[in-house]
Structures are given as structure tokens and as C-alpha cells.
Amino acid sequence: MTEQLRLMAVHAHPDDESSKGAATMAKYVSEGVDVLVATCTGGERGSILNPKLQGDAYVEEHIHEVRKKEMDEAREILGVKQAWLGFVDSGLPEGDPLPPLPEGCFALREVAEAAEPLVRLIREFKPQVITTYDENGGYPHPDHIMTYKISALAFDAAGDPEQYKDSGPAWQPQKLYYNQGFNRPRTQALHEGLLARGMDSPYGEWLERWKEIQREDRTLTTHVPCAEFFEIRDKALIAHATQIDPDGGWFRVPLEVQKEIWPTEEYELAKSLVDTSIPEDDLFAGIREN
């Protein structure tokens, strides 16, 4: 294939790109694939989760600028391009009953209207492959669910010259994937592998919650081998210092154990306009061949 391969990853907030599919992106960058992260919101309403920065007056007052700077650093580490869609973080409502979402936030926008910047970006960047979240958002954050909605709409609309006529010439992506990195088989394998090595596992409570929820597992169609890029993934994640504690739970499993037990990142193929065989080990399967 003589045309440049291009991958677009659509995410809700800065830091999502580094916790979901980051090693995959770094792998493709190393192979010469053009990779663009589309970030829907600025993450303005995200809590400061790193205890070392909690109570920092400057960070709290300038959270938007701080999170933008963190995104710049993560982008450089991963070697990807990045674009902001310009929406305002909805926050994660808590309480019983849940409070209303803030006026003007991303999750309250009309889906067709909110999809326009993404349609425009798809038509400009011309990706063959797009990754995003499933209809549950990966977890039920309103911005993650809205990210799914605009991504699903934009995947089809970008290729239709009759839609969004003022948003550039039509371009039809060929494959749409849902990130499924936090899946039960991976979690179970890491849990059992740690215990077999006489090590503590941080996944016991996760697995118990899965039993309580009794939600069906997603279909994992695509396992991308990317273990050699786990270090880059972790560096990019740590760059989001307001969100990630480098001494916290994200890093309790040694990298060598992760590489040995589960050396891939997982996806669910949602739509494909090319022929491919399941299971896959490449997001561009069926595209390279054509």
C-alpha cells in the first residue's frame, strides 16, 4: 500500500489516551504510521488524583492550563499528534440522587452538533482506522459515553458528502474499534500470575466487583502485541501528574510480569468496510492487504 497509514484515537479527556491504547499507538508510530489523538474536552473538571498535588493552589486555580501542558508532554513521549475538539469537561456526578450536569458541558451538547468538529478532523486527517469507547464509555462517565456517540456518528457521516457539507470533502474511514484494555481475561490472568509468583495482586476487588455486576464480557476481536512499548505507555501516563500517582495502583504490577503474562492491548472491532479475519493482531488488518 503506497498511501500513508493513519490512525485516529478519540478520547474524552487528557490522560485517557495514555491509559487506553497508548502502547498500541507508540508501536504504530515506530512503524511509520501517522497517529492523531482527538481529545474532546480539556479535563477542566477532573479531580486532582495525585496526593502530592492535592491542595496545590496554583494547580487548582490553573487546572485547564496544567492539564494542557501535561497533554503536550504525553504527546511528545508517545510520538503522536494531538488535537483538541474544544468541549468543556462535564465532570463525574456523584451522590444520590445524582446532581445535574453543568450547563454547557460536553455531555449535554446535541450529538449531531458535537460531532461536527470530529467530522471535520476526520476529513482533514483521513484516518483509515479510528479507535474510541463502546456505548458504555468503558465506564459510565458522561463524557466517555458522549465520546462514543459522536465517534459512532462521525465514522459514518464523514464519508457522506450530503452530511456536514461545510466541513470539508468527504472521507470514509475503513474500521472502527472500541478500546477494551480493561477486560476480565487480562485482569484474571494478571491476578493469577501474581499470586502464582507469591506476589500481592491489586485485582482481587476488581474481579469481585465484576461478579457482582454480572455484566457480559465484551468480545475481544483484536490483540495487538505491544509489550516493548509498555515503558513508553507508563511514561506518558506519569506525565499526567494531576491524574496519576507514580506510586499508585497503576504501577503495582512489574512491567516484566505484564510483558510475560499479557503482552497485548485489546480492541473490539465495531465496524469494518474491509474484509478481515477474526481474531486479529493488527488494527490495519484488511487495509494493508488492499
Looking at the chain, the whole-number percentage of residues with pLDDT higher than 90 is: 81
Query: Which of 79, 127, 132 is CA-nearest to residue 287?
Result: 127
> Which residues define the annotated binding site?
13, 16, 144
- Host domain of residue 40: 6-183+219-272
| pLDDT(80) > 70 | yes
Q: What percent of the chain has pLDDT over 70?
A: 99
**Grid cell of 64 as nine digits:** 485547564
Same domain, 19 and 114: yes
63 domain-assigned: yes
What 3 state SS string does 218-244 have?
CCCCEEEECHHHHHHHHHHHHHCCCCC
Residue 281 lies in a domain: no
Span 11-27, pLDDT tens digits = 999 999 999 999 999 99
For residue 165, what are the contacts with CB-CB under 8 A and spacing of at least 6? none
Residue 286 covered by a domain: no
- pLDDT band at 246; cut points 50, 70, 90: confident
Residue 161, pLDDT score? 98
- Residues 227, 91 share a domain: yes
Q: Is the dihedral of CA 230, 236, 237, 239 positive or negative?
A: positive
What cell was used for 216? 457480559
Window from 134-143, 241-250, 251-260, 267-276 with minimum mean pLDDT: 241-250
- Reference 108, options 95, 123, 121, 91; nearest CA is 91
Count: domains in the chain: 2
Query: Does one domain contain both 158 and 38?
Result: yes
How confident is the model at residue 1, as a pLDDT?
41
Per-residue pLDDT of 171-192, as tens digits, reads 999 999 999 999 999 999 999 9
Same domain, 35 and 170: yes
Q: What's phi and psi for 23, nearest 5 deg?
A: -65, -35
- Judge whether 289 lies within some domain: no
pLDDT value of residue 145: 97
Cell of 279: 481474531
94 and 230, same domain (yes or no): yes
Q: 204-213 and 184-196 helices cross at what angle (nearest 10)?
A: 140
- Annotated binding-site positions for Zn(2+): 13, 16, 144
Q: Give domain status of residue 288, yes or no.
A: no
Q: What is the pLDDT of residues 82-126, one digit of tens each?
A: 999 999 999 998 888 889 999 999 999 999 999 999 999 999 999
Question: What DSSP element (H or E) covers 271?
Answer: strand 264-272
Q: State phi, psi for 210 to the nearest 5 degrees.
A: -60, -40
* pLDDT at 164 (0 to 100): 98
Model pTM?
Answer: 0.95
256 in the same domain as 130 = yes
Residues 120, 198, single domain; the answer is no
Distances from the Cα of 54 to the Cαs of 60, 73, 245, in angstroms?
8, 20, 11
Do both 195 and 71 map to the same domain?
A: no
